[in-house]
Structure 1
Amino acid sequence: PVLKPILDSIRHFKSIIQKRSAGEMIWDITQHLDILKPRAERYSLDDHFILLNVGNLLKRAQDFTRRNKQNHSLNAFNIYLEAVMRSGGLPSITPASYRTQEGVIVNTVHGVKGGEFPIVFLPFQRSASFPLNFRSDRRIKRPPDDWLKYSQNTDLTPREHHIQEERRLFYVAVTRAQEKLYLLVPEKATSRFIKELPNTLMEDHPMTDPHSDIKTYSDLKVKYEQHLQKALSREAYEQVKHYSDALAVIHDHEQGHPVSLGDTQWEAELKKDLSTKFKPAIPERINL
């Protein structure tokens, strides 16, 4: 029973392949397999991806047919496609994002050399963390300074040489920022490199208490997005629907629209969460 529709499709296409151009054959295949209409009606992200790439294939087949009127068969089109794919010229088309995805890249200073980012956070700006304390090692890890040519032109001690290397690394870190640089600094045991920076270049912003009970809508959205991801991983689609509805309710509540919730478990939990006094959103806030 499973093979019969496949065999019927093969016989159908074999009967018309000699009479159709590549463009007509690709269109007949999409119509016969009913690829386009159901996906156009449902139009999920995956459907959007499929429609874009099937449409691209149809366009290529039609263009090929117009350019090659003497030999525009499906077999000739397949040979053409194989040549294009071998040359790397047939990448898939990805739908444009409806929502800008904001994220954080966590890396070492060495790892971001040469890179630039709109906003950079530089943590651990405390003494003994940046710069690291100098430690003399009995084992030799590098040639002695006396063996290096540049040692003839410097009077730096090994400790001073270490600080200079750390300072160069600090320079690399702070110059990765294109627009804003945040230096996370403790009130005590502050890094010597921070103390060397002129006050005219910096603006102090004391951090808020991380243990305070004030919440934001962003925090609440993250909570329910995590519930949604876990439900998807378990294929618990009824919960997926509930958490999707919860996110829609949170959005309406944030916009000041009236919301109505029932007595189910997820609605009762959300009702409790929404009773919290929320901190107003910060303009151009980045949700980490």
Structure 2
Amino acid sequence: VDLHVEKFFRVPMVKNVLAWAHFILNDHTSQQSLFRILSQAVGDGWTEHFFRTTSQASVEEKVVRLAEIANESDTDSIRSEQIIQILNSHSSLLKDLGKKLPAGEMVWAIMKELKQTKLMTAMRRNYRYRERLNLANMGELLNMAEQFANTRSNEKSSLSDWLSFMDAMRIAGDPNAAQPELPKKNVAVQLMTAHQSKGLQFPIVILPFIRQNTFPMSLKRHTVIDRLPAEWMKWGQSVENVRDAHFQEERRVFYVACTRAENRLYIFGPKKSQSDFTKELENLNPPVMEKRIMAKDKNEKNERLSETQQRLMAELNREITASQYGNARDILARMVTAESAGTPTVDERDDTSEASRDLLTLSATSIKDYQDCPYKYRLKHRDGVPEQKSKATMEFGNIMHVTLRDFHSLPVEEQTEEKLTELFQSHWREDSFEYRQRAEEFFLQGEEQLEGYFRHFRENPPDVAGCEKRFTFDIDHLAVRIKGQIDRLDRDGDRLRVVDYKTGKSREEAKKNLQMALYSEALRRDAVDDLSGEPGETVLHYLRYPDEPLSSHTFSSEELETYLEKIKDVVGGIRKQQFEPKPNEYGVCKWCDFKEFLCPAWEEE
């Protein structure tokens, strides 16, 4: 049953990060935070004893005492190492705090220090529901901190400011935790009220507990007068009219519930106290429903599952829904042990069977991420853990793309160098670069790139057909949907030329670029919004290199088919849940944020 009951502030990873933040800030909850950090590292018993013996000490004094204990000869070596690790992390984070880093960067720093904790180690080595839940909410927490810093000035985006915001959020009402992605949501049963189902459709709908005075619900009289009587609110209407209006409203809700079913509708209710609504359905002519009476076997035992069995059943459902069949088999084995009964069986079909061939949506970026490192793909696109890309770099790229989009949307006579500079300045956001102290550097870089771009534009004026055009197409035999957005499309005779802007340093030949191949395939399939035309040349325009800015290639049908075959390999790996890391110290790993604390390939033995 797909029940979302976990709360965000109760997720262990969220609690750990917030505990460290309060600890290094030495605020009103730093004592409780230190207790949590210590108990997770050295155990509850030792931590309770330590806090009893230092009950009058401040957090700073406790830290000093911990350092003394770690260096005492009679302290257990393993415990000593764990305490030293906590103290080293505390010292390192205090240095980061002293740099006045924004909340987003401080949360990343805390994550890195948590690398060797039991929880983070489990998240690298296992992929059960609790690890997936922690990963999903780690991503949520990182996004919250980054968005908080992005929308505030440097003076109001500190870790302390962010914690105040998080405290207010928790007090206002603990929100539901982010849920791990379920690639096969159709496996789960979704529970909801009739009101919540409005506008939705399901192949099968079950309405339980349909009985008189429940559905329709009887018009209740309140024992305590806390509002005006309903009949007083209906001027000119009798009590009977108010009752009838209530009954008709209940009928409308029942209609909503029944019409959610696409194929089958099951209504359960007692023979006695039968609902007026089901009686009406029974009496319709021609008949619209089949009535069955469920006879109870007198010899049937009404067995109740133990709490352990209920928990294991819930875990089993989650793992099957997430296509984690290895985990499901482990849970089944534990259920056998718990019940001391016969061994249940599990379907061991290939994970690429029809049951797991739900439509998979990919983009050029996600495909390349999987090719570079399947583990990185899983963290980014399944678990929702964001990368700590330089906010300045991302913001700069966005500004350049928006500037060029707006420039090419102007009438030709207005496309001057002065107007291009004006657009760049109007889109510039100084606050986005303040905390990295690189605003001036990026601004000058942007002016230089646009100067070189305009020079190329003047010498090679394009016939622009459209900018930032989205596309979607399906590869039916793979059950895959490809989505993307093309920076610019130019008319070149009866064909369309694809242009993609690049603001970074790295260069790649267009011929070897998957993204450009997918753009050509989108044109070949006539899948681009509001534009049609045969695919022509594809161009990577490197703004950083004005003297030799272009890399061009026209893909043949054979080349495009070759790229589609590569996608087939990626899709097969994703469907088979093959997410092993591909370590490469001088390749993708060199710039990967996840190797700092989440990648098992970079875990110290």
Taking structure 2 as the reference length, what is the TM-score of the superposition? 0.26
More strand by share: 2
Taking structure 1 as the reference length, what is the TM-score of the superposition? 0.45
Greater RCO (Cα-Cα under 8 Å, separation 6 or more): 1
